[in-house]
Every structure is written in C-alpha cells, then in structure tokens.
C-alpha cells in the first residue's frame, strides 16, 4: 500500500498541526502527566487517520469489455430508474455509492472508452447520502463512451465534510477501465447513470470495492 499523491500536502499540514499543538502544550505544561500521554495518543491517532485516508491499495481489476466495474469503495445507497437532467435528459438506471471517511477515496473508471463530456458544478455540501446531493451539492460529471457506443455517466459528489473533488481526464481523451478517474477528499458519493438494458449484479446496501466488485454488464 502506498500514499496517494493527493494526500502529500494534507499529510504534511496535519503533521505540522499535531507537532505545533503538542510542542505548545508541553511548553506551557512541562510536567509529564497522564493527560500528556492521552494527548500524545490522540495526536498520533489523528495523524494515522489522515495518512490512512490517502492510502492507495494494490488491486487487480475484475473487469472486461462488457463489465461495468465498481468505481469506488463504499456502500450502495441507491438503485433506481431516474431521469438524468444534465447530459442524457432521459431515463437511466442510477447506482449511488456512499463513501465514508473510512473508505479509500480514489475513483476509478468503470469501463474503457472515450471521454465525451465533463463539467464541474460548484454547489452545497449536504450529507452525501441525501437524495438532493446528486443535483445540489458540489459535483463533477464525466461521461465515457465505450467502443460499443454505450455512454456511462460518472458523477463525483462532495459531502458535508468533503471540500475538494479532483477529476483527471479531459474531453476527447481515451481511458482504460480501472485507471484513476479522480479523488474526493473526506466523505463523499459517486453516482453511476447506466443504460436501461444494463444487467445489474449488485444489491441495495451492499458493501462494494472499487475495481473488484462488478456493478453490472452491458
């Protein structure tokens, strides 16, 4: 396991924060007590959690030409037919994955293909499992078209704590299933808008793993 590049600055700031707090406390209260030990433990726990958040696990892709691979770690909180208003403007199958602060927060491409559309929307920061978050929260929408002509929309949604969405590809670039789409910091959600003829292989409330769980088949 390695540390994702998106975490370098945050980890450095967290280290400085913990160091300053502990050094300042020791300077003011120089005698070592059980409270000091508890503060050291809390500082270490906080720093380890920050480092853990940016972990990059080594995984083998479970994919294929007709397979929609899971784009994120988390829990399936929505499976429903809905009208997608931004790009398709017609009925699609929506699959939403909620990513808690404990999950890996890298996002991966569910299929291979060409990037047809990208748009970043500034917005609110409601809890990511709220139904309104798909259309009102800060979010980034990416559409990828497979070699067979099927288009899949991936929407990265910021949550109540998340304050930065990163998306790497740009329109017109080819991408490979399992490569990194982007990263969302500190609790978030990923929506997939799929063709109606997609054969789903996941269930509501299922815990899923990015690159490994099969969402469905085209």
> Active-site residues: which are they?
188
Sign of the dihedral defined by the CA atoms of residues 2, 58, 177, 76, in that order: negative
* Three-state DSSP string of 39-52: HHHHHHHHHHHHHH
Apex 52 CA angle, 193 and 99, nearest 5: 20
Closest CA to 55 of 106, 12, 13, 97: 106
Cα–Cα dist 114/121, whole Å: 21
8 A C-beta contact, residue 152 and residue 163: no
Q: Is 26 exposed, middle or buried (0-12, 13-18, 19+ CB in 10 A)?
A: middle
């Amino acid at each position: 396991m390695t540390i994702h590049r998106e975490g370098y600055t945050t980890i450095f700031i967290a280290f400085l924060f913990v160091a300053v707090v502990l050094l300042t406390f020791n300077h003011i209260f120089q005698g070592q007590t059980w409270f000091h030990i508890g503060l050291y433990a809390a500082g270490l726990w906080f720093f380890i959690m920050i480092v853990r958040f940016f972990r990059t696990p080594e995984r083998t892709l479970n994919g294929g030409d007709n397979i929609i691979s899971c784009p994120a770690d988390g829990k399936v909180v929505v499976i429903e037919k809905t009208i997608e208003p931004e790009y398709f403007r017609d009925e699609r199958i929506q699959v939403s994955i909620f990513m808690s602060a404990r999950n890996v927060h890298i996002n991966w491409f569910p299929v291979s293909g060409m990037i047809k559309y990208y748009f970043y929307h500034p917005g609110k920061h409601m809890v990511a499992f709220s139904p309104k978050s798909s259309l009102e929260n800060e979010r980034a929408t990416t559409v990828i078209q497979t070699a067979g002509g099927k288009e899949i929309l991936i929407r990265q949604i910021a949550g109540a704590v998340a304050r930065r969405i990163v998306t790497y590809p740009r329109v017109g670039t080819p991408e490979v299933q399992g490569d990194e789409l982007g990263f969302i910091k500190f609790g978030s959600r990923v929506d997939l808008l799929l063709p109606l003829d997609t054969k789903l292989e996941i269930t509501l409330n299922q815990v899923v793993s990015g690159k490994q769980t099969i969402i469905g088949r085209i």
